[in-house]
Chain A
Amino acid sequence: MPVILVDRLPLPSLKTYTVISVALLSCSVYYAVQVTSEANWKTNATTPHETVAQASSGKIQDHAFTRVQQAIEPGTIQAELPPLLKAKPTLSVQIAEVVTYMVQEPLCIWTLMNMAYCCLILLGKLIQRVVFGQLRVSEQQHVKDKFWNFVFYKFIFVFGVINVQYLDEVVLWVAWFSVLGFLHLLAQLCKDRFEYLSFSPTTPGWSHARLVGLLFAILLLSGFMFLICIAVGFFDGFNTFAFMAAECVLLTVRTLHVILRYILHLYDMRGSDSGSSGNHEGLARVVAWEKRGPVAYYAELVLELAALLVDLLHHLHMLLWSNIFLSMASLVICMQLRFLTHEIQRRFKKHRNYLWVLNHLEQNYPMASAEELAQNSDNCAICWEKMETARKLPCSHLFHNSCLQSWLEQDTSCPTCRLALSMQSPITRDHGPLDHTLLAVDGGADGVQVARRPPANHFFHFDGSRYVSWLPSFSVEVTHTQLLRADQGPPVQTSQLDAMARQVQQLFPHMPMPVIMDDLRLTRSVEITIENILDGRLVAPPGRRFHEEPSGPIAISSVPTVLPQSAQPSAPDASAQSITHSDSTATDEEPSNLGGRFSKSPSERERILHLRKEQLLQAARRRYLDKQEGSKPSFDSCVVDENVIAPDTMA
C-alpha cells in the first residue's frame, strides 16, 4: 500500500526538482560568497560549529562531523574547481574558503545534500536513457518494490538496529545507503533486462555490450565501496565495518552472478550461430558444452550460496550484536532469517539431488559407444541437437549427458518411452536417509520407483522400504485381493500398476505402455489383460512414434511387429485421417513461396508468419462458405465469397 500512496503524492517532475535544487544551491553559494568576502568571517563561522558540538556533546558526533567533511569535500571540489583553478591562485583560495564555509554552515549543507541527490537521480535517469531505454512495466514494478524494500530495511537498520542518536550520523548512513541502494537498483535492473534479452535470439550486439559494460561498472564501484568500508572500519571498529561490508559484498556477488549468467548466455548464443554454419565447428562446440555444464553449475551454486550466506550472517550479526531482542526490529530480522535459512536448505537439497543424479548416471548408464552413435542418426530428443557424445539408458535411448542430467533431476523415467528408471543405485541404497530426502525433493516422482527388470519380489521389497512403518513386504505373487488392499494408497497403486504393466509388456513387447496401463486400470489383473491381448480385444494403435521401441529391457525389438490397422481409433490417428482428407483441397490454395522457407531475418520471418496466418484464415473462411453454399445456396454467401477471394489471389 505505501507504494500506491507514494504514487499519488504530488511529487514534482524531475525538471522542476532539478531547477529548484540548482536555484537553492546557487542561493547558498551566493550566501557563502557574501559571508566569506568579509575579512573576519572565520571567527564568526566557528561559532555554529561549536554550538552544534556542544549541543550534542558527544565525541562520536565530532568524529562523524569530520567525516562528513571528508566525504563531501572531495566531491564538491572536484565538481566546481577544475576549470577555475587555473585562472587565479587567489580565486582558488577564495573558492576553497567558500566550500569550507558551506560545509560548516548547516543550511548550506542541506542544499548541498539536496543537490547531491538531485545529481544522483539525474545520473540514474541518464544511465536509464543510455543503457535501458524505455523501461518495461515489470522492470518498473521490480525497481519500485526493491526500492521501498531497501528503504524499509535500512530504516529499521539505522533506527532499530544500530540505533543512531545524532543527526550527522544519520546523514552519513543515509548517504552511504543512498549510493549503495542506487547501485543495487541498477544491478536489479540489469538482471531484469538481461533476463528479458535472453528471451530473444535477435538482440543486437551493442545492447548486450552496454549492459555488460554497466554491470562491470557496478562491479568496480562496489569494489571501491568495499575499500571505503575498510577505511571506515579502521576508525570505527569491526562492527561498523561488518555492517557496511555485508551490503557491499552482497552487491558484488549479485553483480558477479548476473555477469556470469550473461557470459554463459552469450557463449551459448555464439555457439548456436557457429553450430549452424558448419559441422566441424558444431563438434567442437558440443565437446565444450559437455565440459561447460558442471563448471557453470558450480559457479552458479557458489555464487548463490555465497549471497545467501552473507545475507544470513549479516542478519545474524544484526540480531546478536545490537541487543534488540523483543522489539519490532528483531521480529523483522527473524522473519528474514527464517526465509534465508529456508532458501539455503532448499539450495542444499537441490545440490544433493544434483550430485546424486550425477553419481547415478555415471554408475548405471554407460556412455554410448561410437557405433551406437553412428547407428542412431537422430538428434538428442531433449535439446534437438546433434549428439557427439551421449549416455545410453537401459531402454537403449540416447541423450546428451547434460540434458539427461537435468531431466532426471526432476523425473525418473526415460523421456522417450517413459520407462521408469531404477533410481536406486546399490551404493545409495545403504544410505537410507539420503534416499528419503531425495524422494521428497522430486515430489516422489510419481512413486514409480520400479526396478528395471522387475522380478516382482524385488519391486515389492523396495516399496516396503519406502513405507517401512506400515507396509510389510509383499509376496511375489500378485493376486487380486492384494491389489484391492493396495487401493487404499494411491501411490502404491500406481507403482503396482506399473509393475504389472511391465510384466505384461515383457510378454508383448509391441504393446505400448499406455495401452497396457489403460487396460490394466480396467481389469486390475495381469491375467485378464493378457487374455485381452491374446484375444485381440486390445490392440496397439498404429502410428505412435514413441512407443514403437519396446521399453522392456528384456525384449529385443529387432522385428517390427505387424500391427493390425485401425482397430482402435486413437486420437492422433483421427487427426491424421482428417489431415489426409483435407490435403487435396488445401494444397492448391497455399502458394509455395511461403510454405517451405525459414528466413534468416527476423522481420521477414514475422512477416511470413503473419501472411501464413492470414492465408489459413482466408482459406478456412472460403471453405466454410463453400460448404454452406453447397448445403443451401443463398445470395449473400456468394457475395462474401468473392470478397474473400480477392485479397488472397493478390497475395
Chain B
Amino acid sequence: MAGSALRRLMAEYKQLTLNPPEGIIAGPINEENFFEWEALITGPEGTCFEGGVFPAKLVFPSDYPLSPPKMQFTCEMFHPNIYADGRVCISILHAPGDDPMGYESSAERWSPVQSVEKILLSVVSMLAEPNDESGANVDAAKMWREDRAEFNRIAEKIVRKTLGLS
C-alpha cells in the first residue's frame, strides 16, 4: 500500500534533513510526488571523484520498503558500476529474488531495513572502490584496471563538469 510507503519515506526524509550525513542531501524533487527523489552526493575524499557533487534520481516503488528503489545518476558518469545511462548497479539495490550477475549473496541485497541513507553511503563507497567484477560499464571497468591515469583524468573532467566549472 502506498500509505505505509509514504509514511516511511516521510520519516526517512525527516531523518535525512535533521541529521544529514556529511556531503549527502536527498529529498523529494516535488512534494506532490514523494516517490521521486533527487540526491546530491559529494565524491569521497582521496579518490578520483573527490570534490564532485553528483546529482542522482531515486524512484521508489509503491511497496517500498519491501522492494528497493531505483537509482540513476542524472549527470555524466564514468564508473565500472554505473551504466552509461546513469543507472547504478550495486547489490544493495537488487531485490533478494533476482540476481542479474549471479554472484551476489543474499546478505548483500535489499532488505526493508535498508534505507535511502544507507544506499547513498554505499554509493559513496562504491565511488571510492569500484567493484570491477560486475561490469555495468565494461569500458570503465577495463580502464580502471589497466589505465588508471586515464580513468582519473576522465573522472576529474566529470567532477569539474558537475561543479559547473569546465
Q: How far is the CB of A135 from chain B (nearest CB, A)?
A: 15
Asked if B25 lies at the interface with its beta carbon under 8 angstroms from chain A, I say: yes
Instruction: Tell me the interface secondary structure of chain A in the complex.
Output: helix
Q: Which of B28, B40, B102, B125 contacts A574 (CB 8 A)?
A: B125
8 contacts between A and B (CB under 8 A): A200-B34, A268-B4, A384-B7, A574-B125, A598-B17, A616-B42, A620-B163, A623-B51
Does any Cβ of A come within 8 Å of B10's Cβ?
A: yes
* Residues of B with C-beta under 8 A to A365: none
Decide if B8 is an interface residue (CB 8 Å cutoff).
yes
Query: Which residues in B have their C-beta under 8 angstroms from that of A579?
Result: 21-23
Q: Which residue of A lies closest to B38 (CB)?
A: A613
In contact, A581 and B45 (Cβ under 8 angstroms): yes
| B-contact bits for A513-524, CB 8 A (1 contact / 0 none) | 110011001000
Bound-state Cα–Cα, A581 to B124, Å: 15
B133 within 8 A of A: no
| B31 and A268 contacting across the interface, CB-CB below 8 Å | no
Say whether B3 contacts A198, CB under 8 Å: yes
Residues in chain B near residue A416, CB distance under 8 A: 111, 113
List residues of chain B with CB within 8 A of the CB of A596.
Answer: 18-19
Q: A609 on the interface (CB 8 Å rule)? A: yes
Q: Taking the complex as formed, is B164 at the interface, i.e. its CB lies under 8 A from any CB of chain A?
A: yes
Query: When the two chains form the complex, which single residue of B20, B31, B97 contacts A442, counting CB atoms closer than 8 Å?
Result: B97
Count of residues in B whose CB is under 8 Å from the partner chain: 65
Complex: how many Å from CA A586 to CA B112? Answer: 32
Q: Closest residue to B90 on the A side, CB-wise?
A: A571
Establish whether residues A268 and B1, one from each chain, have CB atoms under 8 Å apart when the complex forms.
Answer: yes
* In the bound complex, CA of A595 to CA of B121 (Å): 19
Chain B residues in 8 Å Cβ range of A272: 3, 6-7, 10
Is the beta-carbon distance between A617 and B163 smaller than 8 angstroms? yes
Q: Which B-chain residue is minimally distant from A269 (CB atoms)?
A: B3
- Do A598 and B18 touch (CB < 8 A)? yes
- Cα A319 to Cα B76 with chains together (Å): 56
Say yes or no for A415: interface residue by CB 8 A criterion: yes
B146 in the interface (beta carbon within 8 A)? no
Residue contact A490 to B23, C-beta cutoff 8 Å = no
Which residues of A have CB within 8 Å of B44?
A: 574-575, 578
**Chain B 89-105 near chain A by CB (<8 Å), digits 1 or 0:** 00000011110001001
Per-position binary interface string of chain A over residues 438-457, scored 1 when its CB falls under 8 Å from any chain B CB and 0 otherwise:
00001101101000000000
Contact B6 A415 (CB under 8 A): no
Closest Cβ neighbor of A412 among chain B residues: B96
Could you tell me if B164 and A621 are in contact, using CB atoms closer than 8 angstroms? yes
In this assembly, does A602 line the interface, its C-beta being within 8 Å of a C-beta of chain B? Answer: yes
Q: Does A265 lie within 8 Å of B3, measured CB to CB?
A: yes
Q: A384-B11, A574-B129, A578-B46 are in contact. List 20 more A-B contacts (CB 8 A).
A: A196-B33, A199-B6, A199-B35, A200-B34, A201-B10, A265-B2, A265-B3, A269-B6, A272-B6, A383-B8, A416-B113, A571-B122, A571-B126, A571-B128, A574-B44, A574-B125, A579-B23, A597-B18, A598-B13, A620-B53
Q: How far is the CA of A199 from the CA of B35 in the complex (A)?
A: 6
Smallest CB-CB A-B distances: 10 pairs: A268-B3, A571-B125, A602-B31, A381-B113, A198-B2, A382-B112, A443-B97, A624-B51, A609-B27, A579-B22
A430 within 8 A of B: no
Whether A411 contacts B96 in the complex (CB less than 8 A), given A268-B3, A382-B113, comes out as yes
Stretch from A105-113, A346-354, A402-410, A531-539 that touches the partner: A402-410
Please give the residue numbers on chain A whose beta carbons come within 8 Å of chain B beta carbons, in ascending order.
Answer: 195-196, 198-203, 264-265, 267-269, 272, 296, 381-385, 403, 406-407, 410-411, 413, 415-416, 418, 442-443, 445-446, 448, 490, 494, 497, 513-514, 517-518, 521, 546, 571-572, 574-575, 578-579, 581-583, 586, 595-598, 602-603, 605-606, 608-609, 612-613, 616-617, 620-621, 623-625, 627, 640
Q: Whose C-beta in chain A lies nearest to the C-beta of B10?
A: A201
Q: How far is the CB of B126 from chain A (nearest CB, A)?
A: 7
In this complex, what residue of A is CB-closest to B112?
A: A382
- Residue B80 is within 8 A (CB to CB) of chain A in the complex: no
Nearest-CB distance from A385 to chain B (Å)?
7
B: residues with CB less than 8 A from A are: 1-4, 6-8, 10-14, 17-23, 25, 27-28, 30-35, 38, 40, 42, 44-46, 51-53, 62-63, 65-66, 95-98, 102, 105-108, 111-113, 121-122, 124-126, 128-129, 159-160, 163-165
Identify which of B2, B14, B160 gathers the most chain A CB atoms within 10 Å of its CB: B2
A198 to B6, CA, bound (A): 8
Which A residues lie within 8 Å of B45 (CB)?
A: 578, 581-582
Residue of A nearest to B67 (CB): A410
Interface centre among A418, A517, A586 (most CB of B within 10 A): A418
**Residues B163 and A624 in contact, CB atoms below 8 Å apart:** yes
Across-interface contacts of B1 in A (CB, < 8 A): 264-265, 268, 296
State whether A513 and B107 are in contact (beta carbons under 8 Å apart), knowing that A385-B7, A445-B97 are contacts in the complex: yes
The closest CB in chain A to the CB of B35 belongs to A199
Kindly state the separation between the CA atoms of A596 and B23 in the bound complex, as whole angstroms. 15
CA distance A411 to B38 in the complex (A): 29
Which B residues touch A581, using CB under 8 A? 45
Chain A proximity of B120: nearest CB distance (Å): 10
Tell whether, in the assembled complex, residue B66 and residue A407 are in contact, meaning their CB atoms are under 8 Å apart: yes
A200-B32, A418-B107, A624-B163 known; A575 and B125 CB under 8 Å?
Answer: yes
Residues of A within 8 A of B121 (CB): 572, 575
* A575, B112: Cα distance in complex, Å: 22
Q: Is B27 touching A418 in the complex (CB atoms < 8 A)?
A: no
* Residues of chain B with a CB closer than 8 A to A411's CB: 96-97, 111
Chain B hits for A617, CB < 8 A: 40, 53, 163-164
B163 closest partner in A (C-beta): A621
A413 to B11, CA, bound (A): 24
Do B42 and A620 touch (CB < 8 A)?
Answer: yes
- Give bound CA distance, A37 to B139, whole Å: 88
Residue in B closest to A606 when the chains form the complex, CB atoms: B31
Nearest Cβ on chain B to A512's Cβ, whole angstroms = 8
